[in-house]
Structure 1
């Protein structure tokens, strides 16, 4: 690991501002912005790939935990618990996927992990453009087929969430809408119910790796960036719908595309 990845100065006001900006960008489309935060941790703040993923996951945990009570005003907890079979269906796959993804991330060479991150950022850019406008309707599948598809989708989402240190809402929400026919607002809350335990499992796996010490070395940085991310996500949520999706989604996808290229070059 390059020395500057460990000893680079951490500008706390910049961390708050970056977290707030990323949180607001994500909030504009109903997400937390973790996909945009990861490239900044690598590029602007010069963390090594695995350290950036772990910091991103820790920040995402704070953002998701803070989002749950905010979402309660829109979707009551009672409505979420009424859909517990869907949550358990996805968790059956995502928990295992989180373990697998975190295991891969800790074993991959740093150069390879940069490339994996870049490819996944490209894939998420595609999902933003082509999958974010999913609307509720009849579930694609039913019965056993839906159950199997839910586990498989959860497994893939769990892997991606661990490899990027993200909650996975950009993948979970379209899955909940298309596969289970959930309303978009309900899907947003259900995705948090799946994301939180999935991230905790991945976080536990990462805690066994020496790179986990990055959290202790950068505690103030983590807390400041998390605070900025929560504030930004709240502001972005208030502005939800102000910028037309036809303009916003391609712009955000372009940001991810540029970020993917820059991350790839780190390899």
Structure 2
């Protein structure tokens, strides 16, 4: 059944698809046993890597049955950074399913260095297909932005150790929050005048930010005067000067030849006290 046919189905029919049998995602024990069989192959893939990133949809037997084994293997072979990206099921899929997903997340938290969560309940979507599309967009946006900080050459003094420091120190939580903005200086100045509106409600004030990374993407052919203005008004005044002296702040600048000149993209990663 292709995507178009899936989108045309009613919600009750969607729930009937794959309700039982192999591949339904309901048999967590089967997934766990199959996971053990492929761990040697996984080890070959991630050995000698500095980062492993696992994306899992919690709430189904397949994802829940495999993720613990995958993370544990990363721990065993001493991957330096273990990044976990999870989606949480919508409440309409059943409260028990959601509660089990949250319980498992709590259990595997200790195996990861950083965790980014996309909660279906928090997405402002009116249809199932829109919900999944928005979740995909958030996951891809976060993963792409986070990994770019490591693999893309920084124009200032910033490297992998800065990312590790952000993940491991100055905060008791492993959960990462993220948002991105893109536009000219005037647009970014207006949007960042109220920085807190982009943070989850657990941040009661900006003082609750324990760790902060500001990743700036721009075309370095942009006029130097405009870049200096951007750094003064947006990065310094709009973001950094609003933090407390205890906030651990790091930032990087990355050249993107595909971006228009005079346009800047800011990816902001935070952790909460």
The TM-score normalised by the length of structure 2 is 0.31
More helix by percentage: 1
| Structure having the larger proportion of residues in strand | 2
Larger Rg: 2
The answer to which structure, 1 or 2, has the higher relative contact order (CA under 8 A, 6+ apart) is 1
Give TM-score, length-normalised by structure 1. 0.32
